[in-house]
Amino acid sequence: GAVVSQHPSRVICKSGTSVKIECRSLDFQATTMFWYRQFPKQSLMLMATSNEGSKATYEQGVEKDKFLINHASLTLSTLTVTSAHPEDSSFYICSARSGGNTGELFFGEGSRLTVL
Amino acid sequence: DAKTTQPPSMDCAEGRAANLPCNHSTISGNEYVYWYRQIHSQGPQYIIHGLKNNETNEMASLIITEDRKSSTLILPHATLRDTAVYYCIVRGFYNQGGKLIFGQGTELSVKP
């Protein structure tokens, strides 16, 4: 099946620094990618939809200046957590869709961010 | 997209069938039922999806009622590695860019 890879899988950073997480579709082109956040013992919460070549669409309540999303190519989307704080510590998961609106969604392995 | 309701947790004995129910009473005609699972600290894994007919693949079977208001995911011979949170999601392809909205899911514990 299609593979979506995230990097890094784990990152620890100091409060106030910025962290970039990469999401790559390895064997297909993805015009649309989705970013989720998951806190312990909770479900996945959709943060934003990343569209290749255009601005991301953020879900209500998600700060677009805090969580910068760039989808510069058909195989790569990045999420940058700017000026990270301990409350940003979470499991971040990306998903990429192969094909158009009817394409299947494949998920990355997730990236665990810990902000000290 | 239609909302789904799942029991928060279930237990199943190893080797037995695990039957996970899902209610989606407000599903509309063009919405599919999807099942994903998430093993601890991993990304979700696609299991199966269907519109109105029953579906089977190498992982599971999906039984959708005739009125489409509920469905059951069946893992025919559960193993310890099937312990995970299972999410039932109703998705309309042409709504909201095809994104998946996750509910709380069912935490399945397979016990020896």
The predicted-structure confidence for A15-57, as pLDDT tens digits, reads as follows 999 999 999 999 888 888 999 999 999 999 999 998 888 889 9
**Residue A94: both structure tokens together:** 């990306």
Predicted local confidence at residue B101, as pLDDT: 87
Q: With contacts defined as CB-CB under 8 Å, which chain B residues touch A91?
A: 41
**Residue A5: both structure tokens together:** 């890879």
Per-residue pLDDT of chain B (112 residues; tens, 9 = 90+): 668 999 999 999 999 999 999 999 999 888 899 999 999 989 999 999 999 989 999 999 999 999 999 999 999 999 999 999 999 999 876 665 677 889 999 999 999 9
Predicted local confidence at residue A103, as pLDDT: 66
The pLDDT-based confidence of A112 (bands split at 50, 70, 90) is: very high
Quote the radius of gyration of chain A (alpha carbons, Å): 13
Residues in chain B: 112
Is residue B45 exposed (0-12), middle (13-18) or buried (19+ Cβ within 10 Å)?
middle
**Residue A8: both structure tokens together:** 């890094």
Contact B26, B2 (CB under 8 A): yes
* Of the candidates A6, A2, A1, the residue with the CA atom closest to the CA atom of residue A108: A6
* Of the candidates B91, B16, B20, B12, the residue with the CA atom closest to the CA atom of residue B62: B20
Residues in chain A: 116
Chain A positions touching chain B (beta carbons under 8 Å): 1, 4, 6, 32, 34, 36, 43-46, 49, 57, 91, 93, 95, 97, 101-110, 112
List the Cα angle A37/A41/A45 in 5-degree steps.
25
d(CA A35, CA A58): 10
Predicted local confidence at residue A100, as pLDDT: 61
Predicted local confidence at residue A1, as pLDDT: 64
Tens of pLDDT, residues A58-98: 999 999 999 999 988 889 999 999 999 999 999 999 999 87
d(CA B32, CA B78): 25
Closest CB from A93, A95, A101 relative to B93: A101
When scoring B30, B93, B95, B100 by the number of chain A Cβ atoms within 10 A, the one with the most, hence best to mutate, is B100
Q: Do A34 and B99 touch (CB under 8 A)?
A: yes
Predicted local confidence at residue B94, as pLDDT: 62
